[in-house]
Amino acid sequence: MGLAVLEVPRGFPASSSKGPSSTVALPYPTNAAAYPTPQLSSLKVAAQGGDSGSSRTSFNLVKLRRITSVKPLQDASASKLSLTPCREVNVQAAEARERAATGEALKRAAKIGVGVSKLGQDVFDALSKTLPCRWADQHIIVMDEMVVSPAEYDKAHIPNMSQEMLQALADGKDAPGAPPDGKQKATRWQRVSKVLEGERRKILSRQQQ
């Protein structure tokens, strides 16, 4: 059985990297490295055998875009290797898991503010447990309606509605110039303001301990 050298970019595997790319001279039998996969698949299966006295073979999924070249080699000991039986890989399922994991990673990354203070991140993390939140620069957008701004992150604002107007509507009073749905907005604002006040109090209390 012949051997194949898979040449991959620097960093895969890290222990073999020596420059922009490195040749990984591991015993990958050519028939295993060419294990049948769908034509449009982005993966290949490579079998890494041990020495002639070993009956175990490990398998690795290698993305095609990581392989820069494949070079057949000759090794007398390779002909004595026997591969451990390997069931067919469900490439579609593997790629679906990869897409799902990537999506989750992007969601987690979107919750991390760029250039924000620790207080701002703590407030975001606390609010996002019960309310839909996202970052807009250093501002926290709550429910796609309210804005909690630096540096103190202590008040929720609704564009084009003053704090006095919101408070009056929340108290059931009339507020000249309020939009038609002003009372509903004020009710949501009051709820978010209470949550923000409570969470911020807990955050500051922990910082003082």
**Boundaries of every domain in the chain:** 3-87, 107-208
pLDDT recorded at residue 19: 42
Q: Which residue has the tokens 């494949």?
A: 70
pLDDT recorded at residue 52: 47
**Contact between residue 191 and residue 158 where contact means Cβ atoms under 8 Å apart:** no
Query: DSSP assignment, residue 79?
Result: G
Q: Which residue has the tokens 């009339």?
A: 174
Per-residue pLDDT reduced to its tens digit, 18-73: 444 444 444 444 333 444 444 445 555 555 554 445 555 566 666 777 777 666 65
Per-residue pLDDT reduced to its tens digit, 165-183: 999 999 999 999 999 999 9
Whole-model pTM over 0.85: no
Closest to 200 in 3D by CA, of 124, 123, 112:
123
Report CA-CA distances (Å) from 105 to 22, 108, 159. Answer: 29, 5, 31
Quote the CA–CA distance of 57 and 44 in Å, as a whole number: 16
The answer on pLDDT for 91 being more than 50 is yes
Residue type for position 196: L
